[in-house]
Amino acid sequence: MHISIFRTFYKNVMDNKRIERLLGRHNIAFEKTLTDKGSRYKISTDDEAAIRTFKQQLNSIYPQIAL
């Protein structure tokens, strides 16, 4: 099981639904927590290839998000 946590900030990410669709497209389970500054995602998957592909695609869309 691979578990990763990343945060988005409102000034950096305009469309959180886009991130959630990307997670869903790769069958990655996630929990989302909202704060005043942005969102926190806890993602988990058994498939390392899916998480690698997700990180690459997310980085191409939002390079300012550190994973």
8 found inside a domain? yes
> Would you state the pLDDT for residue 8?
77
Asked whether the beta carbons of 29 and 7 are under 8 A apart, the reply is no
> Would you state the pLDDT for residue 19?
86
Give the CATH number for residue 29. 3.30.70
> Would you state the pLDDT for residue 67?
67
**Tens-digit pLDDT profile for the chain (67 aa)?**
667 777 777 666 777 888 889 889 988 888 888 888 888 888 888 888 888 898 899 889 888 777 6
> Would you state the pLDDT for residue 52?
87
Beta bridge partners of 33: 40
36 found inside a domain? yes
User: Which residue segment(s) compose the domain that 48 sits in?
Assistant: 2-61
> Would you state the pLDDT for residue 12?
66
